[in-house]
Structure 1
């Protein structure tokens, strides 16, 4: 998936979670965006890879693309680090939700991900789409509409509370 699709996926996941939690939706969404981009640190051409080119190169050399940073092991490592060093639960939850949305979206592609790294099995859904193709544009649009829906729900709830 392209970076913009991942960003909207992180926003959608964060706003959906905000519906059932008491966490600050703005913090959830901000962290969700970062989390949605983080797994692609292993790819030099990604939005986050271009922002942190040295880290991206090192991680890519060590693990390759869509392996460690797209795994449950990486998710667990990030969760442990966040819980140890970041006292704000909304930041941790948003980051993890963004990462999970990234994993799910990349599992929709033909390449899949190594979800169970270091086991080299690639995981993908039975029906896959081409990254940057026409179907991804429909996925992007659907995620935008869902984000709008969940965002409006939060705004309406805030208005009713005041």
Structure 2
């Protein structure tokens, strides 16, 4: 999936979770966007790879693309680090939600992901799409609509409280 689709996926996941939690939706949202981009630190051409080129090259040399940074092990490591060093629960939850949305979206591509890294086994859905293809544009549009819906629900909830 392309970076923009991952961003909207992270937004959608964060706003959906905000519907059922008491966490700050703005913190969830910001962290969800970061989390949705973080797994692609292993790819030099990604938004994260271009922002942190040295880290991206190191991670890619060590693990390659769509392996460690797209795994449950990476998700667990980030969760442990966040719980140890970041006092804001909403940020940790948002970051992890964004990462999970990234994993799910990439499992819908032909390349799949190594979800159970270090086991060399790729996980992907039975029906896959081409990254950047026409179907991804429909997925992007659907996620945008869901984000608008969940965002509207949050705004209405805030207005009703005041």
Pick the TM interval, shorter chain.
Answer: over 0.9
How far off is 1:59 after superposition?
0.2
Where does residue 159 of structure 2 map in the other structure?
Answer: 159
* Runs of at least 5 residues in structure 2 that lack an aligned partner in the other structure: none
Work out the CA distance in 2 between the residues paired with 1:147 and 1:16.
8
Please list the CA deviations of residues 9-39 of structure 1 after superposition, one character each: whole Å capped at 9, or x if unmatched: 0000000000000000000000000000000
Pairing of 1:1-162 with structure 2 (within 5 A): 1-162=1-162
Deviations 1:130-151 (A, max 9, x none): 0000000000000000000000
2: distance between equivalents of 1:161 and 1:47? Answer: 37
Partner secondary structure for residue 23 of structure 2:
coil
Runs of 4+ in structure 1 displaced over 2 angstroms?
Answer: none
Deviation at 1:72, TM superposition (A): 0.1
SS in 2 for 1:19: helix
Q: How many angstroms apart in 1 are the aligned matches of 2:120 and 2:71?
A: 11
TM-score normalised to structure 2 length: 1.00
Partners in 1 of 2:62 and 2:88 — Cα distance? 31
The runs of 5 or more residues in structure 1 that have no matched partner are none
**Cα offset for 1:120?**
0.6
Q: How many residues align?
A: 162
